[in-house]
Amino acid sequence: MNATVTRKTVAFTRNAVNVFFHILTRCNLNCRHCYINPAQHGTQILDIDTIRTWLSVFVSDNRPVNLILLGGEPTLHPDLAPAIKMARRLGYASITVDTNGYLFHNFLDRVTPADIDYLSFSLDGPTAEINDPIRGNGSFAACTAGIGQAVDRGFAASLIYTVSAANINQLEQMPPLLADLGISRFFIQVLGIRGPGADGPDALTQVSRSRWNRVVPPVAEAVARSGITVTYPKVFLEPGEPFKCAGNVAGNYFIFPNGRVYRCPLCEDYPIHALSFENNRLIEQPAINETDLFRLDIPEGCVMNKLVQPGNLAYGADGTPLYRIACCLLKEEIQVCDSPSA
């Protein structure tokens, strides 16, 4: 058998629904790139009855519904474990919990690997020296300890690495750490210019197109060759590659504790959400909202990218964009498969 690397762009589909549910915004950390914006997303800790009611709105008999539970730090919610079990009973096809690794409320004692498809840990460097200036002192040690406990108990663990100018040079040091930690999926994420800290003195910066293309795809392939599935955002479209806005062609819902429900992550700093929970009913919001932006067809590709992070665009002398920016939700996935020898 030979190992073959398969690489695919994960197509948007309406045949599945992805529910990104922020059950609180409180967190024990204060990461420099945090996109949580309490002024826009609320400070409530949703009670378990509200969580059940909102979860039940997205359940469907016709298509799989995937749930990603987030915060803030979701393990700070005292009822995270019952919420997960409730989602299973409601019929969610997969359940992922995104965590910073501190695993509060004895979380791992209150759930089993059968309850959760993936525990997804956020770590932004291969060492404390790189990670902690981004995510906070002690966060590397806490996160890697949390991963160790989870893997020892049989949970499937994935790891999210948000690439910025502060840590792109160390991305290539990740493969041995991922193997040591027992990670089964690796998500490389791109820094978004959003959240309250986005234009502050400590703000992180995005990397150029050439640097991204030079570093990220080769590291992704190296990690995939070690048997770990890797996903990373497309970010920069090649000439001729089609542009699609997930807001028009996919079933993604980003829910916040104040009831706002967005279809696009780049819109989350603004009161332009497409939907809102009002008295526990999901209500479409009047125009103008993000849905009206999704319909705009511009030569730069993603309209929200042009509005909120235009620094990653470049233009020729005649004013034509040199490339288009993909939807921030468009991902490449790389896996290694065994193929029969020739």
Q: Does 247 bind ligand SF4 (CB under 6 A)?
A: yes
Site for ligand SF4 in 101-140 (CB under 6 A): 122
Q: Are 190 and 206 in contact (CB under 8 A)?
A: yes
Q: Which stretch binds ligand SF4 (CB under 6 A): 69-77, 83-91, 212-220, 228-236?
A: 69-77
Coil/strand/helix, residue 138? coil
Q: Does 246 bind ligand SF4 (CB under 6 A)?
A: yes
Q: Are the CB atoms for 12 and 249 separated by under 8 Å?
A: yes
- 45 in contact with ligand SF4 (CB under 6 A): no
Q: Which member of 130, 157, 204, 329 binds ligand SF4 (CB under 6 A)?
A: 329
Q: Which of 188, 182, 21, 191 is nearest to 92 (CA)?
A: 21
Contact between residue 67 and residue 21 where contact means Cβ atoms under 8 Å apart: yes
By the 10 Å C-beta count (0-12 exposed, 13-18 middle, 19+ buried), 210 is classed as exposed
Q: Which of 30, 56, 127, 280 binds ligand SF4 (CB under 6 A)?
A: 30
Contact between 193 and ligand SF4 per CB under 6 A: no
Contact of 84 with 55, CB cutoff 8 Å: no
Half-sphere exposure of 18 (CA within 13 A, CB side): 18
**143 near ligand SF4, rule: CB under 6 A:** no
- Tell me if 31 contacts ligand SF4 by CB under 6 A: yes
Binding mask of the shown chain, residues 289 to 308, with x at each position contacting ligand SF4 by CB under 6 A: ----xx-------xxxx---
CB closer to ligand SF4 out of 220 and 266: 266
DSSP category for residue 197: T
- Which are the contacts of 155, defined by CB distance < 8 A and separation ≥ 6? 108, 113, 116, 119
Which residue, 31 or 204, is less far from ligand SF4 as judged by CB? 31
Total of chain residues touching ligand SF4, rule CB under 6 A: 25
Q: Does 29 sit near ligand SF4 (CB under 6 A)?
A: yes
Per CB under 6 A, 27 contacts ligand SF4: yes
Residue closer to ligand SF4, measured from CB, 16 or 59:
16
Instruction: Determine, following the binding rule CB under 6 A, whether residue 220 of this chain makes contact with ligand SF4.
Output: no
Rounded Cα gap, residues 236 and 209, in angstroms: 7
Minimum separation from the CB atom of position 267 to ligand SF4 (A): 7
Of 209, 255, 202, the C-alpha closest to 233 is 209
Asked if 34 interacts with ligand SF4 (CB under 6 A), we say yes
Using rule CB under 6 A, residue 328 touches ligand SF4: yes
Q: Are 8 and 332 in contact (CB under 8 A)?
A: yes
DSSP bridge partners of 159: 121, 186
Q: Based on CB atoms, which residue is closest to ligand SF4, 29 or 178?
A: 29
Residue 142, token pair as written in the block: 């806490």
Q: Which among 219, 227, 230, 232 has a CA at the least distance from the CA of 326?
A: 232
Closest distance to ligand SF4 from the beta carbon of 189 (Å): 11
Nearest-approach distance from CB 19 to ligand SF4, in angstroms: 16
Cis peptide upstream of residue 195 (ω within 30 degrees of 0): no
Residue 97 interacting with ligand SF4 (CB under 6 A): no
Q: Is 133 helix (H, G, I), strand (E, B) or coil?
A: helix
Least separation, in Å, of the C-beta of 255 and ligand SF4?
15
Binding site for ligand SF4 (CB under 6 A): 27, 29-31, 34, 36, 71-73, 100, 122, 245-247, 264, 266, 293-294, 302-305, 327-329
